[in-house]
Structure 1
């Protein structure tokens, strides 16, 4: 199975990813692009995209990128994000 189909299959089997509506847009060796559509329940108190969803997208993209270069099982042990401005839009 090619790596793109494999990553998409993993995404399709993840209940959480399906609830979020994560779409695998592009897969290359060491790189994955994901997308979600804005929903009102993704907003935080001021209406911007909740940072938890941004963190989920980062973690998922990194994990899927790892799947393109190794067959070993792995988990993120740590990551941090410095936010520059609120996420505003129809898709992310």
Structure 2
């Protein structure tokens, strides 16, 4: 039986064609937490033959969205940033882990770490506005 956070993320993922295009797989979801993975494909590379910065950003952004909405209250991004720490290559399997840092009635702050194996390749920070709407997932 799925938990409420798992139901919310499943509903989000079903409608998220961009995350589907990235090939994202959900590994774990709890309230305020999401862990997802993807593999870098050739069409995700830039002119330097490394992953376009938007790829690791997008992976982290998806983890951020899933974690921030997992509380049951709908949340939308209002500020994000990423540090690209190491280059990422075709075939790399990336894992993004999003964790709540702080939360209030209207704002939430999250940190997302993007790893290739044990190596940190990206560090993403994000703030969401927490709307008054709740997820209706039964």
TM-score (norm 2): 0.59
Superposed CA RMSD in Å reads 1.6
Rg comparison, structure with higher value: 2
Structure 1: 5+ residue runs without aligned partners?
Answer: none
**Given the superposition, is the C-alpha separation of residues 42 and 24 from structure 1 closer, same or farther in structure 2, using an over 3 Å criterion?**
same
Aligned length: 91
Greater fraction of residues in helix: 1
Partner of 1:38: 40
Give how far 1:90 is off. 2.5
Cα deviation code 1:21-55 (max 9, x no counterpart): 11111112211011111210011111212110111
| Of 1-10 and 40-49, the range deviating more from structure 2 | 1-10
Partner of 1:60: 62
Contact 2:69 2:75 in 1 (8 A): no
Contact 2:36 2:63 in 1 (8 A): yes
Distance in 1, matches of 2:29 and 2:75, equals 19
Structure 2: 5+ residue runs without aligned partners?
Answer: 95-138
Greater fraction of residues in strand: 2
Alignment of 1:17-36 (within 5 A): 17-36=19-38
TM-score (norm 1): 0.84
Contact 2:27 2:35 in 1 (8 A): yes
